[in-house]
Amino acid sequence: MSQLHCKLPDVTVTKPNGLSQSLFFHVYSGPNAIAYAHLSSGAGNRQRRPISRAALPLQTPGISYCLKKIEVSQNYRNLGIGTALLQEVISFCQDERISALYGEAKGEVEILRRWYRDKGFELDAVDNIQLTL
C-alpha cells in the first residue's frame, strides 16, 4: 500500500503487481474501502473504437487497457480521491509501458467530459475517452 495524495489524510491505495488481463486499484481510508478503479486488457476488449488511429504512434507496441470503471463512494466524493486515483492509474500505466488508456465517460457526462479532458484524455462525440501515453 502507498499513500494517495488527496484532501483526506491517511488514504492509501493498493496497485496491481505487474500486468494481467484485469487490473484493480483499491483505495482505503483506514480499513474502509472507499474507491476503486478497474482496467481490462485490450485483448479482452474487442469493441474498442479508438478516437483516432493517427493519435497512436506507429512505434508503440500497442498494449492498451480499457478503464472499465473508476468509482468513489458517495460520502468521499469531491475530496480529490478520484483525481488522485486516476493519476495513480496513469502513472502505473506509464511505468508498465502501456501505450493507451481508453473507455467511456458514463454518468454526469458534461462534468466527466471536462474532468477527463483536464487529465489529458481526448473525447469523441459519443463520449469515448482515450489517453495516449
**What pLDDT digit, counting tens, does each position of 99-126 carry?**
999 999 887 778 889 999 999 999 998 8
Grid cell in block for residue 30: 483506514
Distance CA 130, CA 25 (A): 19
Distance CA 79, CA 7 (A): 5
Cβ contacts of 90 within 8 Å, gap of 6 or more: 101, 119, 131, 133
Distance CA 66, CA 45 (A): 7
Determine what percent of the chain is predicted with pLDDT higher than 70.
85
Phi, psi dihedrals of residue 48, rounded to the nearest 5°: -55, 130
| Per-residue model confidence (pLDDT) at position 61 | 61
Q: Give residue-wise pLDDT tens across range 17-41.
A: 999 999 999 999 999 999 999 999 9
| Per-residue model confidence (pLDDT) at position 49 | 47
| Per-residue model confidence (pLDDT) at position 60 | 45
| Per-residue model confidence (pLDDT) at position 43 | 56
Q: How confident is the model at residue 53 (pLDDT cuts 50, 70, 90)?
A: very low
| Per-residue model confidence (pLDDT) at position 4 | 93
Stated pTM of the model: 0.84
71 or 44, greater pLDDT: 71
Q: 52 vs 19, 126, 129, 131, CA distance in Å?
A: 25, 14, 11, 11
1 or 40, greater pLDDT: 40
What 117-120 contacts at long range (C-beta under 8 Å, 24+ apart), as own/partner pairs, is 119/83, 119/86, 119/87, 119/90
